Structure 1
Amino acid sequence: MADEARKFLQDMLNRVNGLHCILISDRDGVPMLKVSNDKIPEQITKPNFVSTFGLAIDQGSKLGLGKTETLICTYSQYQVVQMNKLPLIVSFIASDSCNTGHILALEKQIDIIVADLALAVTES
């Protein structure tokens, strides 16, 4: 299953111009599945960066904003789009010029893989 999922994610990565990485991790930032090209800095996929999403969604719910579903951060050269698929987090790392709408449109397609991985996480 992992090889099929990796191939599916690689196809997604190749379809969106400027998308450099798709990372599926647990809430603590531990990577479960990752596809990327060589244009991504290593530190952006480390668990300490990815796990900050969990802290951000907790703060949003404390403010009474409801459940956070997506968080979009832009930096000087990159943008990071993270989706809340608890118990998993899906992170898309792209160039600053990548169309964010194209990344957001991938959500429904990636739900199939995330559901299978989430089932595997909850069973173990």
Structure 2
Amino acid sequence: MSRSERSSLLLAGLLATAGVAHFAAPRQFDATIPRALPGKPRTWTYASGVAELALAAGLALPRTRRAAALTTAAFFVGVFPANVQMAVDWRHRPAPLRTAALVRLPLQVPLVLWARGVAKGAEGRS
């Protein structure tokens, strides 16, 4: 297995795990949904879980890997407001929780770069 394929499967595993978590423990995700979004938070929680599972499947398949990786990068940018919402909401929580919420913010950058790297590694293989 090539390094590029390993990287894409690791990213797929991360997304699949997160997607399943949206259904297994939705309440924690509901709390991160920005209040400006219309509808109920649970709808957005489930929708993002479905999106993560679909992206994971796309990353796992060589034929769809490049498109799924580019879409994953866009998804990571798109969910950034939820991470900001979490950091704002958790600013009065105990220090470890507050720190965890703040650390999530800069972690989006390497996730976006990882997804872009997977897309680049899949070029010419689709």
TM-score by length of 1: 0.30
Q: Which has the higher contact order (CA 8 A, sep 6+)?
A: 2
Which structure has more helix as a fraction of its residues?
A: 2
